[in-house]
Amino acid sequence: MGYYVVIDLEMCKVPKHKKTAVYSWSQETIQIGAVLLNEKFEIVDGFSTFVSPEFGYIDSEIGRLTGISNKDVLGAPEMPEALKVFTDWIPEGDVRMVSWSMSDASQLRHELTGKCIENRRMEELLEQWTDCQAVFSERLSNNRRHNLEEALIIADIRQEGELHDGLWDAFNTALLFAKLETEPELKLNDFFAEARKEEVEHLSSSLAGLFSTLDLQFAS
C-alpha cells in the first residue's frame, strides 16, 4: 500500500427554504481537514481549508461546536475549488481514504452530485475508502459504534487539539488508525480493559450458572 489520507469534514446546516431540486441535503461542508500517512503509518503532512457554503450558513450551534464562524468562511473557496486544491495536495499513485464513519464519504458524494462538480480524482478516491469506526468496532469484537472521543480513550490515545476541528479530528483519527493497523494485539486503556475482562467473566459465569440449572436431554 502507498499512502493513506485521513479526512474529516466539518459541516453546517442547510435550511429547508435553501434546498433545491438538485441540492436537497441538510448539510454542507465548511472545512476540509486531512493528514497524510505513509506506508509505515507515519503522519507526514497535513491539509486544511475552510469552504464557503453555497446554501447553508453557520448558526450559533455549529459555531459553538466547531469554533468556525461565518467570517472564517467569507472569501474561502467554494467546494469545486476547495476539492481541486485538496486533490492536488494528495500524492499520485496508490492512495486509500480513511475517515471516522462513512458520513464524510456520503457528504462528498452529495456535493459532487448536487453542485455538478467534475473531479475525477475525488471520484476515484471515493471508491478506495476505509471506515475507521467500523474497523475499531471489529477489533473490539462488538457492534457498538463509538464516537471518536470515546474511541481515543478506549485505545489509550491522548487526544490532540480540539474536537470538531477538521484538521485535529483527522490527526486524531490517523493516530487511532495507525494503532489499529500496526498493533497485532490492540493495547487498550487499562480501566477499559479491566472492565471488559470483568464483563466477559461475568457473562461466562452467568451462562455457566444457567446451563447448570437446565435438564438437558440429548437424543441417542
Does 91 map to a domain?
yes
What's residue 163's pLDDT?
93
Per the structure, how many domains does the chain have? Answer: 1
Give the CATH number of the domain where residue 17 resides: 3.30.420.10
- Alpha-carbon distance of 146 to 148, in angstroms, equals 6
What's residue 63's pLDDT?
97
Which grid cell sits at 61? 450551534
In order along the chain (220 residues), what is the average pLDDT of each group of 10 residues? 94 95 95 98 98 96 97 97 98 97 98 97 98 96 91 95 97 98 93 70 47 48
By residue range, what is the domain housing residue 159? Answer: 3-182
Cβ contact 36:46 at 8 Å: yes
Does 211 map to a domain?
no
Cβ contact 32:125 at 8 Å: no
Does 201 map to a domain?
no
Nearest one of 112, 116, 175 to 148, comparing CA atoms: 175
Does 176 map to a domain?
yes
Does 219 map to a domain?
no
Give 82-87 contacts, CB < 8 A, sequence gap 24+: 82/29, 82/32, 82/49, 82/51, 83/32, 83/108, 83/117, 83/119, 83/122, 84/119, 85/49, 86/32, 86/34, 86/47, 86/49, 86/122, 87/119, 87/121, 87/122, 87/125
Task: Please give the model's pTM, rounded to 2 decimal places.
Answer: 0.87
What's residue 59's pLDDT?
96
What's residue 192's pLDDT?
83
Measured in degrees and rounded to the nearest 5, phi and psi for residue 49 equal: -150, 140
Does 196 map to a domain?
no
Does 133 map to a domain?
yes
